[in-house]
Structure formats: structure tokens, C-alpha cells
Amino acid sequence: MSALALKTHPPGMFELDFARHAASLPGAGLAWLDARRRVAIAAFGKTGLPTRRVEAWKYTDLANALEGDLEPVSHFGGAVDIANVFGSKPVDEVVLAHGLVRHIEVSGGLEVADLGLLDEKSPAWIRDNLGMLAASADQPLGAASLALMRGGVAVRVQGAQTLHLQFSNPALGHGAVSNSRVLIVVEQGASLRLLESHSGEPGRQRLANLGVELVLNANAKLEHIRLQSDDANALHVTTIGASLARDAEYRALFAAMGARLSRVDMNLKLASEGARATLHNIAVLNGGIADITTVMDHAAPHTTSRQLFKSVVGGDGRAVTQGRVAVRKGAVKSDSHQLFKALLLSPRAEADAKPELEIFADDVVCGHGTAIGALDADALFYLRARGIPEREAKGLLIRAFLAETMEGFADEAVQDALAARIDESLASLEQSES
């Protein structure tokens, strides 16, 4: 093995962790996994921790946000607060603390494995899939999450299922980084409603680094609802790699309401004819950065992607939305649309929106739009002139702005729970504005 160029801390912390602990990571000694981890740390090493000099990270300077050494979390024995953020308790549930599985409760139809306990008896579907997505040099943090994976969960779906993945990040006495992975394989014709929540307690600086692989086989359906409300001081990076086979459908609603710096970095491949993806993103922030960066890769004819990102930014917050739609040669009749909108509630708030199109096929429909602005003064006056106090009127307009992102997702209980969390977030936003 070639010597790794160890950089100084913190930029070299992942390489150093790998050099020191590769032999004791979960599944160490499994040749296929060792090989993938080695490839992944080399892929990460091409950029290292991204600074603004890396084009895809030019609005979100992760390296500079780190305050110093972060200790890898390889074990956590403390109490975990389990909150039902999505309203009624789903039957199937996995609870993770700092990315390490704490508790698995599933009934039939779902196969679930703890990635912290991989061994030679681990099933073939994990070996066939783990690390194939969300680990390339284009997604350096995803690569690090595989190379340094301490835990996480693998799920195989047959039939129609619902699963809640609950990530909890309790307080720690030291600066910490967790590297974990999620692998979801939805078998042919099967469907999953995946509810994913992230919560955290205040404490020393912490980086939650998660890599997520979503494999949708032919005719599979995945509805993915994700709520990130980590502690306001946390750094939170999730790298998602998704691959959709023929006629597979992915529908996602993401909400980012916590963390000082959060980034969702998604690469979704519409790999076969008839594959369809819808991604809606909500960001509500009062400070710090919420970044969503996506690549919609139309690799086959008759594929469809829809993206709607809406950000509400107060204080000195910054919302970053970057979306690249790539239509490959031969991917005729590709149909894509992306719309990024941001509402700026303070003079210091900022939104950076960068839609990009790369089209190498004929006969495609690709649209995009961006709108960044303040609350509509006419609408605000209208509501106030009807007796609605200013703060309530602003809340009403903000909720109206976000409303269309939630339409048609999950059930009423989940929508209500999500709306309640958004309201909480807006309440703190408005208070700090007035």
C-alpha cells in the first residue's frame, strides 16, 4: 500500500483515522470490504476535506468550519432519547446513536442488518451493494463515510413496508466525528416508505458524516421523508447515491432545520427506461448554512426528474441549492425540471442557487427556474389590513410559500408532524427577527 500523504489536522483527520484504525473497523479482514474501503479513502484523498476551492463546495467551506480535532465515535453507551418526530410510532424502527445501531425492531418483509457487525456470514445482497454508490471521488465525504464506517444499517425490502430510521446524536464531552452508512435495497416490485430523522443535543463540535445508498430494482418504489433537526452547533453531511432501474420511482421530501452547517449531496442515476424521481427540499434556517447539491443523471430514455427546493432564511443564514441535470447520449425523451426558490427574511440572509444543465441527447425537455426574494409587501399589507398581526401574517405567508413542497407526501399524520416541526422552527426564526 502506498504511503498516505498525512496532512496536518484537521484536514488530515480522516486519513489519519484510516491509517490508525483500518484493521479494527467493522468487517476488517473481509477482503471485499477492505478493498472497497481502500479505494474509498484514496477517492477521498483526491480532494481531502473540501474547501471552497473545490467547485462543488464553493459555497460551503467544510474544512474551515472545523474547529480542531474531532475524535471518531466507535462506541457509545449513553442514554438515547427516542422521540416520535413523525407522529404515530411506525411498526418497524431502527434507532442509531452517533451512527451506531442501538436498537432494531422489525417485523416480516424487511431484512435488516447492523453494519457495525459485518462478518463472513453477512448476506450476499450486502456484499453485492455496499459501497457501490455514494463513495466516489465526486462525493468525497461519502467516500470517507465508507472508508471509516463504524456502523449503520442495511435494509432489504420485499412487499410494501414502512421503516423509521431514527438517528440520535446525544451530547458528548469531546469534539467528535461519526462515519456511518445506510444501504437500502428495494427489490423488484416492492415498496418502502422510509422515514428518516436526525436529532441532536448541544455539546462540543460534532460532525455527523453519513453515506446513503438507495438501490431501486425494477418497478420498485421508495418514498423517502427526511427531517434533519440536529443541534444548532453540529456539522451534518449526508451523501446519497441512488440508482433506479426500469420503471422504478423515487419520491423524496427532505427538510433541513438544524445544524450550523448541513449538506445533502445527492447523485441519483435514472439508469433504465421509465425511471422517475421527485425531490423536494425544505430548508429553514436562522444562521449557518444549509446546502443541498444534487446531480440528476438521466442515463436512459424516457426518464423523468422533478426537483423543487424552497428555503426560508433569516438572521445571517445562507441557503445553498445546486442542481445539475445531466442527460446522457441516447437518453432521448428525458424530462426534467428544477425550481429553486428562497425567501430572505433579513438583510443579512443569503441564498445561492446554481442550476446547471448538461445535455447530450436530442428530443429532451429540461426546464429550470430560480427565484430569490423577500416576503411580498402587497400580500403582507393585505393580511394586516384584514386584522392579522404582522408576525402572524408573516408566518402565514411563509407557510404558504412552503405548502406545495409537502403536498402528496406520506400520510396526514406524517405531514402534520412535519408541519409542526416547521412551525417550531419558524417561531424561533420570527422571534429572532423581531
Partner 1 sequence: MNMLEIDDLHVTVDGKEILKGITLSIPAGEVHAIMGPNGSGKSTLSYTLAGRDGYEVTGGHMYYNGEDLGALLPEQRAAKGVFLALQYPVEIPGVATLTFLKTALNAQRRARGETELDALRTLKLVRQKATALNINEDMLRRPLNAGFSGGEKKRLEILQMALFEPKLAILDETDSGLDIDALKLVAEGVNALRAPSRAMLVITHYQRLLSYIVPDRVHVLAKGRIVKSGGADLALELEESGYERVVEVA
Q: Which residues bind partner 1 (CB under 8 A)?
A: 376-379, 381-390, 392-393, 396-397, 399-404
The gap from C-alpha 395 to its chain's centroid, in whole angstroms, comes to 26
Smaller CB distance to partner 1: residue 28 or 403? 403
| Cβ 332 to partner 1 shortest distance, Å | 34
| Cβ 401 to partner 1 shortest distance, Å | 6
Smaller CB distance to partner 1: residue 31 or 385? 385
| Cβ 383 to partner 1 shortest distance, Å | 7
Smaller CB distance to partner 1: residue 360 or 381? 381
| Cβ 282 to partner 1 shortest distance, Å | 13
Spatial separation of the C-alpha atoms in residues 193 and 426, rounded to whole Å? 27
| Cβ 312 to partner 1 shortest distance, Å | 13
DSSP, collapsed to helix, strand or coil, labels residue 383 as: helix
Rounded alpha-carbon distances, angstroms, from residue 324 to 61, 180, 292: 20, 26, 11
Task: Locate the DSSP E strands across 245-317.
Answer: 249-256, 261-270, 276-285, 289-298, 304-313
Grid cell at residue 373? 426574494
| Cβ 393 to partner 1 shortest distance, Å | 8
Smaller CB distance to partner 1: residue 110 or 393? 393
243 phi/psi in degrees, rounded to 5? -135, 125
Smaller CB distance to partner 1: residue 19 or 383? 383
Smaller CB distance to partner 1: residue 21 or 384? 384
Grid cell at residue 207? 460532525
DSSP, collapsed to helix, strand or coil, labels residue 371 as: strand
The gap from C-alpha 339 to its chain's centroid, in whole angstroms, comes to 18
Rounded alpha-carbon distances, angstroms, from residue 321 to 61, 127, 291, 327, 383: 14, 34, 6, 20, 30
**Which amino acid, 361?**
A
DSSP, collapsed to helix, strand or coil, labels residue 32 as: helix
Smaller CB distance to partner 1: residue 275 or 372? 372
Grid cell at residue 349? 440572509
| Cβ 408 to partner 1 shortest distance, Å | 14
